[in-house]
Amino acid sequence: MKFRAAIDIMPLPALLDPQGKAVSTNLPNIGLSDISNVRIGKHVTLEVEADSPEAAESQVNEACTKLLVNEIMEGFTFRLEEVK
């Protein structure tokens, strides 16, 4: 079975996010003063070949914790869906 995963990797809430802060600060300059709390992270999509949704999930988890995510500074969530 083939699965597609969509992973969101965001800076932890307790940490400053300078990139998001820069965007928040500059939005009023382009006329968008009602937007706040901008935070910027990474979005990763990938495909996994696995026997079950659980096996796919564990592979995605491993890819995140071993390679994609710095867990000291970032948290992650992901969605899995089967590709027909």
Query: What residues make contact with its own copies under the rule CB under 8 A?
Result: 6, 8-10, 20, 23-24, 26-27, 30-32, 34-50, 59-60, 62-63, 66-68
Comparison of 14 and 45: residue with beta carbon closer to its own copies: 45
In the beta sheet, which residues pair with residue 77? Answer: 8
- Contacts of residue 42, defined as CB under 8 A and 6 or more positions apart, other chains included, come to 7, 8, 9, 68
Shortest distance, position 62 Cβ to its own copies, whole Å: 6
Spatial CB neighbours of 81, under 8 Å, sequence gap ≥ 6: 3, 4
CB 15 → its own copies: shortest distance, Å? 14
